[in-house]
Every structure is written in structure tokens, then in C-alpha cells.
Amino acid sequence: MELRVRDGRAVLAGEDESGEREVDPHSLPLGADLAEALHEWAKVADAVVRTETPAEGVASALVARRGKQLAGRIAAVMNSPVSYTDPVSGELLTVDVPETAKPPVTASAEAVAEAAVLTAAEEEPEPTPWGTGLTVSVITAAIVAVTVVSLSLGLGETSRWLALVANVLVVGGLAPSVWLGRKVPVWRWVAYGVVTGVLVAWLALILTLL
């Protein structure tokens, strides 16, 4: 089989009982992508030849290199050597079937077991620090509760509606941070404390109104 360029189109030439024949790459089981790549290369090669670019030019070298690459892909798909005629220089080359990749080296049983142990150790979740986490939550809750109660009582002496608006603004400002921090390993304890502190403050304010 020989790869050629004929009137800006890539053709593959071969011999059968009736003699030599040239066929379109699309008529062979090469795949649509490879067939289109061959025709695109042929168009570029034809343009280089028409502009009378010297054979030692950069464009000619790129055309020759691309042609060899495509011939190698054809040889790999067809599992047969492919001859390649350089459309610029007219040189005929033969591209052999690329060597198949070597099979991967099988790891020993000890290496596999060690890798499995390391993977299991990495995937094992860390224990939840309940003691430290709850301490942070309690401290945060106390600070938030005292702050909200003090702010509300101070504003309540002027207007209860002003105190209510202040509570809404405080909760609205804290809500996005609490929502984002609820699943973060460290900040979730702070989020729990903020929610608890706000609820305790509201309960205390309600009791003061009774």
C-alpha cells in the first residue's frame, strides 16, 4: 500500500487482480478522523507544490514530516508497512508498523499489599475532636449570646422596633458565614456556636418581655 497525493486529495494505491488501483481513504477501515487528516494534509501539500516552494524549505519539511506521521498511523491501523511518496520531493519511503508498547511490569504481591495498606490508611477518616470542638462552640455561643442580648436591650430602651431590626440585621449578616462554614472541619464548631448563641439570646429576650 502506498500513500500519495493526487490533485489535492490523499489516495492509497495498491494492487489487486486487475492491476494497480487508487482508492479514497474513506473507503478503507481507517476511521473518519484519520481519513480527514489525510485529506487536510494533501491539500496543504498540494498548495506547497503549487507555490513552487523549494524542497529544502520549512513548509516542505513540515509536509514531509506530517506525511510520515500519517503513514505510520495507517500502518498501525492496517498492521502492514505503508509506502509514502513525498509530494514535494517525490522521494519514496517505507514506513513500518510501529512496535507495540511493552506490557506493564506486574508488581509483586508484597508491593500490592503495601500499596493497599497505605491507601487504606490515607482514606481512613480522622476522629472527630468532640472535646475541643464543643469547647469552641460553647465559647462562641456565649460571646454571640451576650453581644446580641446587650445590643437588643440597649436599643430596646429607645425602641423595640429598632431592637427587632437590629436582630434581623445581625442574623442576616451571620447567616451566610454560618451556611458556608457548616461543613468545614474547623469552622463548623464556630458555626454551631453562632447558631446556639443566637437562639439562646432570643430566648433570653423573650423571657425579659414576659
**pLDDT of 139 strictly over 90:** yes
Taking alpha carbons only, the member of 49, 50, 68, 71 closest to residue 60 is 49
Taking alpha carbons only, the member of 30, 25, 1 closest to residue 13 is 1
Q: Look up the pTM and report it.
A: 0.41
**pLDDT of 42 strictly over 60:** yes
- C-alpha span between 120 and 139 (Å, rounded): 36
For residues 117 and 80, the model is more confident at: 80
DSSP assignment string, 101-132: PPPPPPPPHHHHHHHHHHHHHHHSPPPP-HHH
Q: Which amino acid is at 204?
A: A
Taking alpha carbons only, the member of 37, 51, 48, 38 closest to residue 87 is 48
